[in-house]
Structure 1
Amino acid sequence: MSEKTILVWFRNDLRIHDNEILLEAVRKADSVLPVYCFDPYYFQHTASCSSKTGNFRTRFLLEAVADLRKSLQAYGAELIVRTGNPAEILPQLAEQYQVNEVYHHREVAYEETGISEQVEAALWKMRLNLKHFIGHTLYHKEDLPFPIKDIPDSFPVFKKKVERDSNVRPCVPTPEHIVTPEITDAGELPTLQQLGLNEPVDDVRATNYFQGGETAALAQLHQFFSKSEQSGKSKSSRNSHINSNSSKLSPWLAVGCISPRQVYWEIFKHMQDSSYAQNAGMLKLELLWRDYFRFMFKKHGQKFIKAKTAEDEAEVQATSELEFNRWANGETGVPYIDACMHELNATGYICNQCRQIVATYLVHDLKADWTRGAAYFEEKLIDYSPASNWGNWAFIAGINDAKESKYVIAAMQPKELETQSDFVTTWQSSPKDEAGDLIHA
């Protein structure tokens, strides 16, 4: 009897721990073929000549894939890396290694689902099945107290019902061993230059550096709770508001170097300790927001981020290219707004408070098309996730009757906000350096 080989198509699940498709493939097959494809679609240039994926996020992704390969090698396995269209590459590898089935985690945003459909169609011609798994949310779709079509559009209602009537599943075990077929050409990771990008320049004012990979993700999770314990014991911090983004886990969550369930069960371990309670509670809330946006995309599809009606659009002024560029480059004259945008452009990351406020300013003060802001964030953010990014911008823009404010801070006037930041400074409008960031004056 011939051996069974399952191809595991890694996408936004770049981890060994709590990875259902990897565990299931190990259990069901004699050998597993792990594959990652750098799809040129995500590195193309947009109509505005910007990159769909910026260099900070691309560097992070390259590091994450390299770390996954290293982790697999520790199990005696290997990761095949290719650059090209997955709908062409995966069938080729399936034929070469006599694959019996292909596993992957299902996505919800239309670009990602469209690529899955292309792969599925190509495999179907070979009489191969693309098996879909659900592994990007805290709560499994099948454990929700309502079918997808009946998920409440209101986040408070969604949160209340889910927390009351659903349970978070335990993390799946980590495979004890992984057997791969004899791989003749594992392939090299592409360079930034090969993907059409320049090496990012790390700004000296940046207080964070994000190293891609599961190894760094687990270290960051441990560090977050260690710092929470220290701050909880500090008298000066007891009455201070701690922003949930202090965990800074979002880049690793975005590409699946760590799963929401791993974070949740670590939160669960610490919830009874008052030293951790505030931070843990806010972190859990952010995981719920991630779930909410993903399920909204699953329920509504593109309708969730549809354009406003003609009547609504009449209220939106034709924001000039100059006005939008001033916002994007941090040259609005509002110190807090400008500081946030300087930091975003220079590092690829800003805290959640900054994101809400600069988005609110662009949409409601400048009356700009919110989709332009969402596309700009898509390029710049290290932790870009389609559902969270586009869903959050749509929420702020009031699409689909999302009228309640997500964060009270979004209603704060920028002039009332703290402006003590290394990024509040004078920046030249030109020239630009090779990385495309404005040169500090």
Structure 2
Amino acid sequence: METALWWVRNDARLHDNAALAAAADADRLLPVYVVDPRGYGEQPYDGRNSFDFEKTGAFRTRFLQETVDDLRGSLDDAGSALLVREGRPDDVLPEVADAVDADAVHFQALPAPEERDAAGAVVSALSDAGVTTRSHWTHTLHHVADLPDRISGIDDTFTPFRQSVERDSRVRDPVPEPDLPETPDLARLDGVDDSGSDLGSFPTLNELGLPEPAHDDRGVLAFEGGEAAGLDRLDHYLWEGDHLREYKQTRNGMLGPDYSSKLSPWLNAGCLSPRRVAAEVEEYEAERVSNDSTYWLLFELRWRDFMAFQTAKHGGQFFSLGGIRERDDIDWQRPDHDPAAREQFERWARGETGIPFVDATMRELNATGYMSNRGRQNAASFLANSLRVDWRRGAAYFETRLIDYAPGSNYGNWAYIAGVGNDSRNSYFDVVGQAKKYDSDGEYVTHWLPELEPLPAAQVHEPWELNRATQAEYGVVLGEDYPEPMVDLDATYEKFH
């Protein structure tokens, strides 16, 4: 009689899950979710010139709580169970394996250094205990083994990578949901009562030192964690709402639930498989329409793949100040050492820069844990390119607050915009130009900055262009009703010309 553990990581789902399917081949199975304290509270940003930051904020923590609750319900319905424990995985899993006489532990392979280090420590500890371990690649569209050039040969520019996988790789069929074997005897597990019913729960926000996030009905969507909610969102976006047919045209929207798929929170938490999404898109193309929009959703999934594989290729360098280009020619301002830089960073974080488009995006993030891709790019460009504040501080701030945080996508996109990542160009976003293009009527800005509602749409994005008397006429006086701009934007762009 073989007993297996499934160590649940960012793959909290029953569908298309190779780790679960392999573990379910055993005679007995115990899924285990470990809440690692290193993922919460103030933690160091490792590497040269490190700093401390809050690791996981309230919005994503609540999403993870809901995800674990949903997984427990699904496992219960399937005749299985979920054990939840707090502690370092390399401490918890050997103890659990010993208590249930486990022969093997199956788990998801993840590419970022912290994730790989955590897995390596677990493998080492279980090896010492005589327990077999097996990792499974489950979180990208293309399997790592199917890459034409393997990890080491991936081009550092997206287009060649995309062309190579579209031409020479394949998207595997989703793994069927397995029948789950019986749960092993849990009598020897600490903290489990005689009935085996008290299997632990995710800590409360209060126990983790986090506030309960208030619901803000201005948000684009009420994101609920879990596989069921992720599959419901996929069904709504593709089939019920029929929004995919116009995705490429609407994806740069700023307001409302359906301008984009908004699948990223469930994809990044592992509630939803990218291969399941691709299979649904293929079915949609066969039954409804195949066009540039259906292709573009797969394009975006491959961008997500690219950043994950780049993380695996470059390791810690991917997260360093100089990035994978190892640049040392940028005079980054360090909030931890320079009071002026600290003030700039804090104003940016609060959404009080005096640049309406940037402030609106940051206030949306702070209030909801989410912002559009367009908003992320402009907020990042302002901090990294206009202010030259250490880009890692901005990326770490996003890590704390984003519901849909993923290491590769978050830090990779920040490094890209900051000029130290996967692009050979020095680039910046013209924030006002972007605002006028993507929020031409000022509706998004005034949605999050109601103090600017009295202004005409033509002035919402540049209130500093109004003289003092005109500002007073509209009741929006800079420095009183809304901040003066921190910098002259056009002057900050001169270094890129």
TM-score (norm 1): 0.89
Counterpart of 1:420?
443
Equivalent residue number for residue 394 of structure 2: 373
Cα 1:393–1:201 change in 2 (3 A) is same
Please say which of residues 130-139 and 70-79 is displaced more in the overlay.
130-139
3-state SS in 2 of match to 1:107: coil
Matched, 1:32 2:55: no
Q: Deviations over 1:235-263 (max 9, x none)?
A: xx799443497111100011100111011
Q: Percent identity?
A: 41
Q: Residues 230 and 394 of structure 1: is their aligned pair in 2 closer, same or farther, counting only changes over 3 Å?
A: closer
| Inter-partner Cα distance in structure 1 for 2:427 and 2:125 | 41
Q: Which amino acid aligns with 2:417?
A: I
Find the counterpart in structure 2 of residue 242 from structure 1. Answer: 251
1:290 corresponds to which residue? Answer: 304
Against the structure 1 CA distance between its residues 406 and 221, is the aligned structure 2 distance closer, same or farther, given a 3 Å change threshold? farther
Question: Corresponding residue for 2:345?
Answer: 324
Q: Which residue of 1 aligns with 2:10?
A: 12
**2: distance between equivalents of 1:230 and 1:121?**
47
User: Are residues 392 and 240 of structure 1, via their aligned partners in 2, closer, same or farther at CA, if it must alter by over 3 Å?
Assistant: closer
The answer to whether 1:172 aligns with 2:175 is yes
Label 1:271 to 1:228 Cα distance change in 2 as closer, same or farther (>3 A): farther
Describe how 1:36-435 pairs up with structure 2 within 5 A: 36-46=33-43, 51-184=54-187, 185=192, 186-226=199-239, 229=242, 232=245, 240-243=249-252, 246-272=260-286, 277-308=291-322, 311-314=328-331, 320-400=341-421, 402-403=423-424, 412-414=433-435, 417-418=438-439, 419-421=442-444, 422-426=447-451
The gaps in structure 1 that reach 5 residues or longer are 428-441
Structure 2 counterpart of 1:7, which letter? Answer: L
Tell me the CA shift for residue 188 of structure 1: 2.6
CA distance in 1, matches of 2:248, 2:307: 31
SS at match of 1:182: coil
The alpha carbon displacement at 1:177 in A equals 3.4
Q: 1:121 to 1:348 in 2, by over 3 A?
A: same
Question: Contact (CA 8 Å) 1:229, 1:276: kept in 2 or not?
Answer: no
Q: For this pair of structures, how many residues does the alignment match?
A: 421
* 1:190-232 CA-partner distances (Å, limit 9, x unpaired): 2111122121111132231111000000000000113652685
Paired residues of 1:103 and 1:133 also in contact (CA < 8 A): yes
* Residues in 2 aligned to 1:382 and 1:163: alpha-carbon distance in whole angstroms: 29
Q: Distance in 2 between matches of 1:157 and 1:408?
A: 24
Q: Which runs of 5+ in 2 are unaligned?
A: 45-50, 193-198, 254-258, 453-497
* CA 1:315–1:376: 2 relative to 1, 3 Å: closer
Paired letter, 2:39: Y
Question: How many Å apart are 1:272 and its aligned residue?
Answer: 4.9
The Cα RMSD (Å) is: 2.6
The alpha carbon displacement at 1:306 in A equals 2.5
Instruction: Note the alpha carbon deviations across 1:114-148, whole angstroms, 9 max, x for none.
Output: 11111112112112222111111110111111121
Q: Deviations over 1:145-172 (max 9, x none)?
A: 1121111111011001110111100001
Q: Secondary structure at the match of 1:312?
A: coil
**How many angstroms apart in 2 are the aligned matches of 1:407 and 1:162?**
29
| Residues 238/415 of structure 1: CA separation in 2 closer, same or farther (3 Å cut) | closer
- SS of the residue corresponding to residue 36 of structure 1 reads strand
- One-letter identity of the residue aligned with 1:117: G
Greater RCO between the two (CA within 8 Å, min separation 6)?
A: 1
Moved more, 331-340 or 179-188: 179-188
User: AA paired with 2:370?
Assistant: Y
1:293-337 Cα offsets, whole Å, 9 max, x none, are 111111111122332257423366866111111111111111111
Measure, in 2, the Cα distance between the counterparts of 1:314 and 1:119: 40
What one-letter code is carried by the residue in structure 2 that aligns with 1:313? I
The structural deviation recorded for 1:43 is: 0.8
Q: Is the 8 A contact 2:6 2:106 kept in 1?
A: yes
| C-alpha distance 88-226 of structure 1, shift in aligned 2 (>3 A) | same
Larger radius of gyration: 2
Mapped to 1, the partners of 2:305 and 2:247 lie a distance apart of: 29
- CA distance, structure 2, for counterparts of residue 138 and residue 407 of structure 1: 30
Distance 2:247 2:317 in 1: 43
The change in CA–CA distance for 1:100 and 1:280 in structure 2 (over 3 A counts) is: same
